[in-house]
């Protein structure tokens, strides 16, 4: 099944809404807690990146009995150096954003840590797609 959610730009009152919606879906499906937690954390970080860096976008969630695929898409500025962006602590977030408690530069590394697979496609000035994959039948390490 599919679930499509929109993520508004810089709307901090909506922060975490998409992630909360995904959690509700996983609860309806009875997905194991450890996995729910990993998905929630990765999804939240991805959602915040779209809201803060990506100019808003969408989250498309696809579920089968074996896999959870999450596509986080935006048409924002793109990431010029993905390797650098993946570095712990690297962030281009503004002073203002940092003051709000975001921009610690741990989002992408946390997504990598929690997802079973992570793919990033990004074109400068065109946008970014982060693809997260979770395996449903695999035991949590």
Partner 1 sequence: MGISIFHSVYLDTNLCVGCTTCIKHCPTQAIRVREGKASIMEERCIDCGECIRVCPKGAKKSATDPLALMSDYDIRVALPAPSLYGQFGSACKPAEIFDALYSVGFNEVFDVAWGASVLTPAIRRFVASTQTRPLISSACPVIVRLIQLRFPSLIPNLVPFLPPMEITARKVRELLAQIYQSDRRYSMPGESGEFDQHRAGVFFITPCTSKVTAIRLPLGYKQSMVSAVFSFQDIFASLKKAMAPRGEGEAGDPAPHGHSGHEKFSRFSGLGRGFDWARSDGELESLRIPGAVSVDGIENVITLFEDIDNGKFSDIPYIEALACPGGCVGGPMAVANPHVARSTIKAIAASANSSASQTQAESAKRGSVSPERNNDSPERLYSVTDESMRWETEVTPTPVMLLDRDLTVALKLAEGMETIAASLPGLDCGACGGPDCRSLAEDIVKGKAKIDDCIVRLKQKIIAPEASMPSSAACGKQA
Ligand X SMILES: Nc1ncnc2c1ncn2[C@@H]1O[C@H](COP(=O)(O)OP(=O)(O)O)[C@@H](O)[C@H]1O
Residues lying near partner 1 in the complex (CB under 8 A): 1-6, 16, 19-20, 23-25, 27-30, 33-34, 36-37, 40-41, 44-45, 58, 63-65, 110, 136
Q: Which is nearer to Mg ion, 49 or 114 (CB)?
A: 49
Q: Which is nearer to partner 1, 38 or 53 (CB)?
A: 38
For Mg ion, the binding residue among 49, 114, 122, 128 (CB under 5 A) is 49
CB atoms < 10 A from the CB of 114, how many? 20
Which of the residues 20 through 79 are near ligand X (CB under 6 A)?
Answer: 45, 49-50, 53-54, 74, 76-79
Q: Which is nearer to Mg ion, 58 or 92 (CB)?
A: 92
Q: Which is nearer to partner 1, 113 or 131 (CB)?
A: 113
Secondary structure string (H, E, C) spanning 73-116: EECCCCCCCHHHHCCCCCCCCCHHHHHCCCCCCCHHHHHHHHCC
CB 52 within 8 A of CB 93: yes
Q: At what angle do helices 107-114 and 33-52 cross, to 10 degrees?
A: 150
Best CA proximity match to 118, nearest among 9, 38, 64, 29: 38
Interface residues toward ligand X, by CB under 6 A: 45, 49-50, 53-54, 74, 76-79, 85, 90-93, 102-109, 128
């Amino acid at each position: 099944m599919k679930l499509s959610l929109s993520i508004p730009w810089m709307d901090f009152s909506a922060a975490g809404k998409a992630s909360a919606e995904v959690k509700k879906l996983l609860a309806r499906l009875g997905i194991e807690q450890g996995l729910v937690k990993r998905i929630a954390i990765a999804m939240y970080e991805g959602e915040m990146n779209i809201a803060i860096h990506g100019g808003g976008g969408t989250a498309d969630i696809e579920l089968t009995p074996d896999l959870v695929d999450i596509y986080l898409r935006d048409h924002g500025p793109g990431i010029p150096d993905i390797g650098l962006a993946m570095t712990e602590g690297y962030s281009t977030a503004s002073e203002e954003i940092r003051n709000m408690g975001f921009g610690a530069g741990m989002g992408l590394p946390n997504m990598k840590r929690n997802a079973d697979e992570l793919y990033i496609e990004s074109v400068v000035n065109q946008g970014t797609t982060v693809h997260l994959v979770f395996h449903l039948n695999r035991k949590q390490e």
